[in-house]
Chains A and B, each alone.
Chain A
Amino acid sequence: MGGVARRATAISYVRKQPGRHVLLLDAGNALFGQRLATESQGQVIVEAMNAMGYDAMAVGGLDLSAGFEVLKQRAKEASFAILSCNIVHLQDDTPLFTPYVVVQRNGLRYGIIGVSEPDVANAPELASAARVADPMQSLQKYLPELQQQSDVIIVLSHLGLDEDKAIAQAIPGVNVIVGGKTRRLLQTPEMVGSTIIVQAGYDGEWLGKLDVTIAAAGKLVDPQVDIIPLGPEVADHPELAALVARYNQLYPPPTPAAN
C-alpha cells in the first residue's frame, strides 16, 4: 500500500473531475522517517509534493528531525506553504514558519493555517532558538485576521483528534480541520458543530478525499469523505516513479554484505 507514485495518479484523476475546486493538503510528519527521505534530508519528499501540486502542509515533530534550519531550507524549495502558527522565536514570539496562507480558486479564498504539536519543542536545535506556543491561543491570535481575508477557513493540525475536537468547540468559524498525529483513518467526517474534522491514516497508504458544497462564504454543507486506498490497483504515475528512481540512484540502498 502507498507510495508517492500511486498517490500522484489518484490525485491526477481527481483533478480531472470537472466543476469543483481542489485543494491538496497535508497535516504534517511528511518529510522524514524512511531511508530515502532521511538520507536526502527531506528533499525527495518536497520534490514529490511539488510535483503532486500540494498547496500546504503543517509542521509536525518529525518534520523537524533534522533541525529547523534544514526544514527552513526545504520550505524555500517547496512550491507549497509549510505552515505553523505556534512555533515562535524565543526573542520576540514571531513565527519561524509562515503561519497561514490564502489560496484562491475561481474567486473563492481559502484561508489555511497550520498548528504544531507541543512535542516539536524536542526537535534538534529548536530549544535554543524557538519555543512552541500554546496551540489554541496561537490559533485565536491569527484566525481573526485570516478570517477577514478568507471565505473558508481550514486548519492543518498536527495536534491529534481530541485536540482537534477541542479547537472546533472553542473557536467559531473553523470550517474544516485536516488532522494528524493520532493517525486515525476516519471513514466519515467527525462533526463538531459545523466544523468538519478529517484524518487519513498513516504512511501514505491512503489518500483522503473530502467533498463539500460551499453554500455561502463560511458555510459548508453535505460533507462526504472517501478514503482512497493506494493499493497495487492504482498505477504508478510515471513522473513520480522516475523521481523515486532518480533518488534511489543518488542514495542507493545498502547492498547485502558479500560472503
Chain B
Amino acid sequence: MQRHVLPAPTSFTKATRLLLLTALVTACSGGATGGPAPTIVPVAPSRPSPTAARAAPPTALPATPFQGQARLTILYTNDTRGYVDPCG
C-alpha cells in the first residue's frame, strides 16, 4: 500500500515537547550502550469494562465532583495496523 508522505508535525507545542523531553530519557532500539534509566510511571491498572452498565472507575485524579467546568484530554490513535515496534 502506498504510504503518504506527511510533513513533520508542527503543532506539538514547544511546552509539551520540552516537558516530554525533560521527563523522558532519550533512547532508541539500537541504543543499548547504557545511559540513565527512564523514569516511568506505571500505567493505571483500572480500566472500564466493555459494557455500558459498568462504568470505569476514576483514575488517580482527585475525586472532586463536576462543578460546571472540567478539562478533558483525549489521547487517540488510528490505523496502527498491528505495529508493535518501529520495525513491525
Q: What residues of chain A have their CB less than 8 Å away from a CB belonging to chain B? A: 1-5, 7-38, 42, 44-45, 48, 50-56, 60, 62, 75, 78-83, 98, 100-110, 149, 151-152, 154, 158, 176, 178-181, 183, 185, 187-188, 198-204, 206-216, 220, 224-229, 232-239, 244, 247
Contacts and interface: CB of A to CB of B under 8 A. Distances in A.
Q: Taking each of A17, A31, A233, which has the highest tally of chain B beta carbons within 10 Å of its own beta carbon?
A: A233
Contacts of B49: 79, 81
16 contacts: A8-B43, A20-B71, A20-B72, A32-B81, A42-B82, A81-B48, A100-B52, A106-B62, A109-B55, A183-B79, A200-B76, A202-B79, A208-B75, A209-B74, A227-B11, A232-B26
| Closest 6 pairs between A and B when the two form their complex, measured CB to CB | A37-B82, A180-B78, A33-B81, A232-B28, A33-B82, A81-B50
A110 B70 CA distance: 13
A109 B54 CA distance: 12
Interface of B: 3-4, 6, 8-13, 16, 19-21, 23-29, 31, 38, 40-45, 47-52, 55-66, 68-86, 88
Nearest to B85: A3
B84 A44 contact: yes
Contact of A202 (B38, B73, B80): B80
A227 B72 CA distance: 16
B75 A149 contact: no
Given A101-B50, A232-B27, A235-B26, A210 B81 contact: no
Contacts of B72: 20-23, 105, 108, 110, 152, 211-214, 220
A11 B19 CA distance: 13
B65 A106 contact: yes
A21 B61 contact: yes
Contacts of B43: 8, 11-12, 15, 51-53, 237, 239
A20 B73 contact: yes
Contacts of B81: 29-30, 32-34, 37, 62, 202-204
Contact of B78 (A12, A199, A239): A199
B58 A106 contact: yes
Given A52-B43, A203-B79, 12 more contacts: A19-B71, A21-B71, A27-B78, A30-B82, A55-B48, A81-B48, A106-B70, A178-B76, A183-B78, A233-B24, A234-B24, A237-B43
A149 to B, nearest CB: 7
